[in-house]
A = this chain, B = another copy of it.
Amino acid sequence: MSKVLFFKKPAMKHTLIAFTLGALALPVWAADPPVPYPADYREWHHVKSMVIDQGHPLYEAFGGIHHLYANPQALAGYKAGQFPDGAVIVFDLLEATAADAAITEGSRKVLGVMHKDAEKYASTGGWGFEGFAGGDQTNRVVGANAADACFACHAPQEDHDYVFSRLRD
């Protein structure tokens, strides 16, 4: 039940349900607070990019060309090696079209988000994880599955506050 307390305003209805259903096993609606959609991320610092091609072990999930963006708090976090609350990193995955000896960008596949809040997301290293299919802020593909779908792979990066990417010049 304790996680229900982390819900702020949007959790009112869920809290009522929680009290009603009482003794049931930990329900889906007791997940961590939803990760906010990062409305202005295209104005943030472009950290780096990468193309993941067929044959790569992550192709199924992340095939295409992706760009990482950091808000100012995350940019400070990259430099410090530890990210403050409020740091947000976006993994912007686009289709990669290979033709005529070039790879060009296509439509958006998914917008991945890591949002740092040590208290709200304590169970996943202090990071909230979400994916917005096609960049659509109403189409959340991670939801309550962040621990399995995201954090399990990020956990070995503990020495860099669970972030894979590094800042370059």
Q: Do A45 and B48 touch (CB < 8 A)?
A: no
- Taking CB atoms and an 8 Å cut-off, the chain A residues in 57-107 that contact chain B are 59, 65, 67, 69, 100-105
In the complex, A3 has a CB within 8 A of chain B = no
Q: Do A168 and B105 touch (CB < 8 A)?
A: yes
Q: How many residues of chain A get a CB closer than 8 Å to chain B's CBs? A: 27
State the majority secondary structure of interface residues on A: strand
CB contact between A42 and one of B46, B100, B105 (< 8 Å): that residue: B46
In the complex, A52 has a CB within 8 A of chain B = yes
Binding site for B on A (CB under 8 A): 42-43, 45-46, 48-56, 59, 65, 67, 69, 100-105, 108, 135, 168-169
